[in-house]
A and B are shown apart, each in its own frame.
Chain A
Amino acid sequence: MTDDTPTAPASRPLSCPTALDAVHRALGAAMTDFAGWSMPLRYGSERAEHQAVRTSAGLFDLSHMGEITVTGPGAGALLDHALTGLLSTLPVGRARYTMICDAAGGILDDLIVYRLADREYLVVANASNAATVLDALTDRAAGFDAAVRDDRDAYALIAVQGPASPAVLGRLTDADLAGLRYYASLPGTVAGRRALIARTGYTGEDGFELFCAPDDAEPLWRAITEAGRPEGLVPCGLACRDTLRLEAGMPLYGHELTTATTPFDAGLGRVVRFDKPGDFVGRERLAAAAERAASAPPRALVGLVARGRRVARAGFAVVDAGGTVIGRVTSGAPSPTLGKPIAMAYVDPGYATPGTEGVAVDIRGTSEPFDVVALPFYKRRT
């Protein structure tokens, strides 16, 4: 969903189709190459798709995401060592947002880790980083009684997102959706197909992600489409996924998160658990980054809302009233919910306080005024 789409891993052909490729083409989707996958960008109006997720429900093919299974008696210990979070104490059936860093504390990827069983975890990486994460976990597994398995081809991933998603999915499964908490998962049957049902997402709305066998993806997609008809569920592409996550203030790898960024730079220091047993990759440098963030942060991630109508895009300079560069936009788009352009940017901490005056973005040579706001831009009513 970005302009700087990473190149495909060498082991895969360019633009690998997902298990739902024929469905997308039959629906007339505008397709795009993303991280080596051919993905639907939008089916019709991306703003209408965005609104459907905010007000009702949307259906996404997320089969580009990278699944890695970690098993064995030492699986928890391996993840504690390899990732920033504390996964060994994660209860079975729960999930956690975490990161994998390099030895310098730079972010290799942000991840969701699901504990499926006492000795089994499912690690979900971004498509563009799946090979990197797989390699790092495999390297870091040395000395642990655990196995790391590439399961990218074992799963298709379908997401149902939006306030109507419990009602829609509830028509297709006997699983206890009401008892399924946010960031939890349970194995179940949906429309007669086995799936891991997870209450996770990347839209800022309630919703579910269904990990299923690739052969089951199409019948599942059709069943959900049919079940969601009364609520006006629509298929949704990557374009609206990006504006949904941006409104929700969720970072995107390659934009807010990079190897040149530590979790503390991104304001996500909470994902680093210094209190866990044993050493972990990046600990020393992350401790220094934590100290720096507390005493003299080099920069801060802020929200920007345009006073005008021009859109600040990733890479544009944030400037002060005198035109001096004080930061850089990492993501920007017109917000369908706010009706104004919004952006996330790293800025000098002196300009990070909401309401700071005189902040502008250099949009193709013109300083356009923006308001500094607290993230997120949008929070659903619960």
Chain B
Amino acid sequence: MSNPENLRYSKEHEWLSPADNGVATIGITAYAANALGDVVYVDLPQVGATVTGGETCGELESTKSVSDLYAPVSGEVTEVNQNVVDDPALVNSAPFEAGWLFKVRLDDAAGEPADLLTADEYTAYTEE
């Protein structure tokens, strides 16, 4: 699955959508979902919680392992994807769409971190 051009990517394999009224959507990439195998449980941050870019904010359980979920940016959680909590397989079947994880109101001061990758850069990173 190709990585959508309009998203930005972290080296921890999260994606970040362009901000819409200051709110960005976050998920994990197809590459990450494929590496995990079938996701069976997602633990997401609470609505209203503050997440910090580069720090863990949840976890994803798959058949073989558990992985930490990292926040690619800092901000306040405005919404979590209840569909993915109820049906974690969405992370595998539609990681860039219905399998999104949570939304964050970006800290004004922080802005988008400089270390996020473009789609091309992320694709190259995962092919290393």
Which A positions have Cβ atoms within 8 angstroms of B? 3, 30, 41-42, 45-47, 239, 242-243, 309-311, 313, 333-334, 341, 364
Are the C-beta atoms of B37 and A42 separated by less than 8 Å?
Answer: yes
Q: How far is the CA of A46 from the CA of B41 in the complex (A)?
A: 15
Given A42-B37, A46-B38, A334-B40, do A310 and B63 touch, yes or no (CB 8 Å)? Answer: no
Q: What is the interface residue range for chain B against chain A? A: 10 to 19
Q: How far is the CA of A311 from the CA of B61 in the complex (A)?
A: 7
Q: Which residues of B contact A45 (CB under 8 A)?
A: 37-38, 92
Q: Which residues of A contact B89 (CB under 8 A)?
A: 47
Closest to B41 in A: A309
Contact among B40, B63, B66 with A239 in the assembled complex (CB-CB below 8 Å): B63
Are the C-beta atoms of B61 and A46 separated by less than 8 Å?
Answer: no
Closest to B93 in A: A45
Q: Which residues of A contact B38 (CB under 8 A)?
A: 45-47
Q: How far is the CA of A41 from the CA of B34 in the complex (A)?
A: 12
Q: Which residues of B contact A3 (CB under 8 A)?
A: 64-65
Contact residues of B between 43 and 98, Cβ < 8 Å to A? 43, 61-66, 89, 92
Are the C-beta atoms of B61 and A239 separated by less than 8 Å?
Answer: no
Q: How far is the CA of A364 from the CA of B65 in the complex (A)?
A: 13
Main secondary structure on chain B at its contact with chain A? mixed
Number of residue pairs spanning A and B whose beta carbons lie under 8 angstroms apart: 44
Q: Which residues of A contact B37 (CB under 8 A)?
A: 30, 41-42, 45-46, 239
Are the C-beta atoms of B41 and A243 separated by less than 8 Å?
Answer: no
Closest to B38 in A: A47
Interface centre among B62, B64, B65, B66, by most A CB within 10 Å?
A: B64
Are the C-beta atoms of B34 and A46 separated by less than 8 Å?
Answer: no
Which B positions have Cβ atoms within 8 angstroms of A? 34, 37-38, 40-41, 43, 61-66, 89, 92
Are the C-beta atoms of A243 and B65 separated by less than 8 Å?
Answer: no
Are the C-beta atoms of A311 and B34 separated by less than 8 Å?
Answer: no
With contacts A3-B64, A3-B65 known, what are 14 further pairs, Cβ within 8 A?
A41-B64, A42-B37, A45-B37, A45-B38, A47-B38, A47-B63, A47-B89, A239-B63, A309-B61, A310-B43, A311-B40, A311-B41, A334-B61, A334-B63
Closest to A238 in B: B64
Interface centre among A30, A41, A333, by most B CB within 10 Å?
A: A333
Shortest CB distance A255–B (Å): 14
Q: Which residues of B contact A313 (CB under 8 A)?
A: 65-66
Are the C-beta atoms of B41 and A239 separated by less than 8 Å?
Answer: no
Q: Which residues of B contact A309 (CB under 8 A)?
A: 40-41, 61
Interface centre among A3, A47, A239, A310, by most B CB within 10 Å?
A: A47
Q: Which residues of B contact A30 (CB under 8 A)?
A: 34, 37
Given A47-B63, A239-B64, A310-B61, do A334 and B41 touch, yes or no (CB 8 Å)? Answer: yes
Q: How far is the CA of A3 from the CA of B63 in the complex (A)?
A: 12
